[in-house]
Structure 1
Amino acid sequence: MAGDLEEIFLLALNYFYKKYKEKGGTQKKIALKLGVTQSYVSAVLNSTKKASTELQERLADILYGGPYEEFLAVGRRLQNSLDPELTLKSEREEEVEALIKRLSHYIRDYQRIEKELVDMKNFYKVLVEKMESGVLVTDPNDNIFFVNTWLLKRIDVSKESLIGTNVLDENKKFPLSNLKEFQVYYTTAKETFEPREFTQIRLNIPSGREVYRCGWCIPILDHQKYMGMIVTIGDITEEVLLKKKLIEETWLMKLAMDSFEQTGWIILNRAKRIIKRNAEYQTIFKIPEEVLQENDYKKNIEWIRHLVRDQDNFMLLSLEFPRHGKKSIHEFDLVDGRRISRVTTPLLKDNEILGWNIMIYDITPDKEF
């Protein structure tokens, strides 16, 4: 039926275009009236492109100027090898048939659009479910009506426990605790109509485990009316705990290094920059804070040089670094009478030098006079 109606339309279209052309009309003029390209008009006339129902009606109006049903009636007569000018406008059967065929256009368009919407909905549903992050959606009253599988697994609760709960309502029904920090971001996004990012918030899940989350609160708006919120959630628990562990270990190492009395300690990376040092190292040589802050080993050595008796030998040995499996010991005298021993050891991993460990001892009591 669809092909039949399309054939009828094309027959009428070319018939009336011929008459339109005889009066001086052109494809260019039609294109300007329709707001499309001339090549598109040509393609419709040549049946290489199919015009929408709306465009068909506008073409009929330009070329014929009468009702669309009469336009199609001419095409139907041409299809049946009848005189196109002898249209029977009052024939009830023809009018009903034209109406049915016209309505069928709208029905097919509606079915096509409905199918596209369903397909699109299913596509995004699968996409959201497969995401390696959480998605939570609320309605205008801030009640949860959607949550994806990733988030359910991470908080270890059933979907039924979460759906319908209010993210701003502090009650026992909500399966998460310690929500105040998250609720601040949520409320701000809701009130400002602007997305709000949370980079690290702490929550307690029902199992009692403390977790850390990041993400966005994105308001859903319809003509500046609040319709709910999309909340995206990422799990940064391992990252945060690792960072805390690293900070703790760094402080432990600093405390251990500073516990050495009369022993300076510095660690260099492979670029020969100071990455760790203890307080005693600064005390032994009275190095100014501004020199230390640069973490430049060579600048440190140049400062110490002025305290040393044999400066040339000191600089020569200070800039030589032991290689694989070896360590160097250098003793030197300061102008104030103290004697210093410096032990430099390479730091290796898989036979690759990553840096150097340098221990500095004040051995003045051991010096022979």
Structure 2
Amino acid sequence: MMAQATFDTPEHLREFFFAMIESLPGGILLADRQGNLLAVNRKGSQLLGLAGASLQNRTCWGLLAQRFGLTHELAALTLSGGRLLCEVSASPGGEEKRCLLISRNDLQSPFLHVAGFFLSLEDVTFPALIEVHHDRSKRFAAMQEMAEAMGQELKNPLGSLELYASILKRELAGDPDNERVAGRMLGAVRTMHHLLDNFMTFSRFPLPRMTELDMVAVLGKSMETLREMAGEHGILMEARIEAKQAFLLGDQALLAQLLLNLGLNAIESMPVGGTISLNLRTLPPDSEHGGLVEIRVQDSGEGIAPENLRKIFDPFFSTKGRNRGLGLAISHAIAEAHHGLIEVESEPGRGATFRVLLPAEPGTVQEISRK
């Protein structure tokens, strides 16, 4: 039986209280009724980037407004149970973003002189990505079903049209003008048949053949092809690799296709000239996830309009009239097949960055980090 804890003085009780909030896995901002800061635990300081900052005479509202650039959004936290999702840089001046969920809870005490509230901060970056990823996956699956149904309905009629056009062309062998027309008909039917085969391939995505791969080597081979294609448009394609090796379980052909799709998308988004950067690094495991291989494809092209960001991975969606809009959708499917994630950050006129996260082989990221 556990002995009951006793506190001889208010100082002992206060020490126990601060030890308790310091031990919590999430961030805590404790405030009085007016929002004046009383205490911030270590995790809260870490999530908000407050190392070395003075908290004296500061309010939680002023702190959040300064850190996140918020004004009227803070109204969501004025009532008990209020919640607010914010985005913050993982490091000062860094490009990587983190998603923080801030929740308000009022203090419950029988003593009238004790009043106030606390804000809890939770890093939900990866759950937030996964939620968006799953929503996108549902739309992708619906489009796959549509493509398969369309293929089954059109395959037989197109086969008959191709046969009849072949017969007609043969029958008109002595009439050059009509034979040429029949030849064009046959070519158009065969083009439709080829497109249909592409849709059928899309609807029946191949099962990955997983082997141990070094993504540094896979990226190196893909760069040879991408540099040639970029050079035809006067674009410089460069690789920035921050790991000597990056092992994972994957299908080499599919991952090479993912890199090719993202590279081609960047090339099509660029004007003549400019630079496209493919970055690869490893992220060590932490309490929330295992080690990761991160690939970034960054261009300085026209960017993506905000209303298109959530649709950019949808099958057949494209802002470019010259393609079918399947490249990024298939890239999403490849990332999903490898239990990974893909996301995009972009502003109109400032280019786009596609980020792929793939699970690394257990133990390899730590070995890479020590080299």
TM-score (norm 2): 0.35
TM-score (norm 1): 0.35
Ranked by relative contact order (alpha carbons within 8 Å, sequence separation 6 or more), the top structure is 2
